[in-house]
Amino acid sequence: MNSNMLSQDEIDALLNGGGMPDEQEDSKSSQKDINDFFSEMEQDAIGEIGNISFGSSATALSTLLNQKVQITTPTVSLVNRQQLADEFPHPYVSIQVYYTEGFTGSNILVIKQSDASIIADLMIGGDGSNPQDLGEIQISAVQEAMNQMMGSAATSMSTVFNKKVDISPPAIDLLNVHEGKGTESILEEELFLKVSFRLTVGNLIDSQIMQLLPIEFARELIDQLMHTEEQVVEEVVAPSQEEPKPQKPSTQSEPAPAPVTPPQTEPKKEPKQVNAKPVEFASFEPQQVHTDVSNLDMLLDIPLTVTVELGRTKRSIEKILELSTGSIIELDKLAGEPVDILINNKKVAKGEVVVIDENFGVRVTDILSQSERLNKINNS
């Protein structure tokens, strides 16, 4: 009789909504600690990869939705397949992405269906305040938004890993773990690395977007990131070690270089004689124009490179090495100032930037005379 009676501990466990004590111990033993799989440095590395890639994704999504979008604060944790119902208690949208170049593997993005509805409403021209349920049109809009986001993320990863990274079009599915819907789209893995980000879209969304990575794929990302950083350090250190070498011969050549410098000034006079040639060309300009016009048919098929230069600046090697995705480079021109138009790297005109359909163009506002342009091309 007593063997069939519940103990007080078992009664308390049931009243508290848990299972039997033995079942609770089994569930605890099935939960794994992320520190058993990844060191703190590796956790920071995978978080940084997500931070950089999703930072550019936020920019792409902001352009699509015409709203301020922020994806920040990555949090890394482990998720067991048996815990998916607890991790995703609401209806979600899952977006599966396969890597076709640069990496071998895939990952899954997960967002709430309510957030996806707002994104879809903004994509199709609404204001996001009264989104409709996810129908075929709305799902297609969300898929396009995720495609743009992940394409931008792949571009950022190409920069981080110093190689081309490309993805296939993302596959989208509605996910409701409690009802068993969409779970077949989740990779057949028992353990996932989950990277959660805070997602804000204007005043409409303040939620989370989550990334599920298979453990082995996460390790591949971390290992390649570490290897890439080691290569960058070696490339930066190598030139600095070679710099002292040219300084040593300069200290040894103290006795006689001073008297050698005067003869070097004489050859510099020769270019001055060459500089007199443009004066002669100036006097023959009319003849050159006539000969060019007479032979114009022979010149029409010669390809020339046309370049539009927004501006220039100078940076030290140290500053260039510090550049990363999102860095801003200030140019030597003011906003709204005409851009330079160059033919074969020779400045021949100025203009203003315009948009033609979906392409950039330049409207010429100031141009050199025909003879001046011919001289520029001939001297290039």
pLDDT tens digits, one per residue of 66-122:
899 998 888 998 888 788 878 888 889 988 888 999 888 888 889 999 999 999 999
pLDDT higher at 362 or 180:
362
- Domain topology for 25-229: Chemotaxis protein chec (3.40.1550)
Model confidence pTM above 0.95: no
Average pLDDT, the chain: 75
* 313-358 tens-digit pLDDT: 888 888 888 888 888 888 887 777 888 888 878 888 888 888 887 7
Residue 276 confidence (pLDDT): 45
The domain spans of the chain are: 25-229, 264-379
Residue 60 confidence (pLDDT): 87
156/231 Cα distance (integer angstroms) = 18
54 pLDDT higher than 80 = yes
Domain 264-379 maps to which CATH number in 3.40.50.620, 3.40.50.1370, 2.30.330.10, 3.40.50.12160?
2.30.330.10
| Cα separation of the two ends of the chain | 105
28 pLDDT higher than 60 = no
Residue 116 confidence (pLDDT): 93
Q: Tokens in use for 308?
A: 């539009």
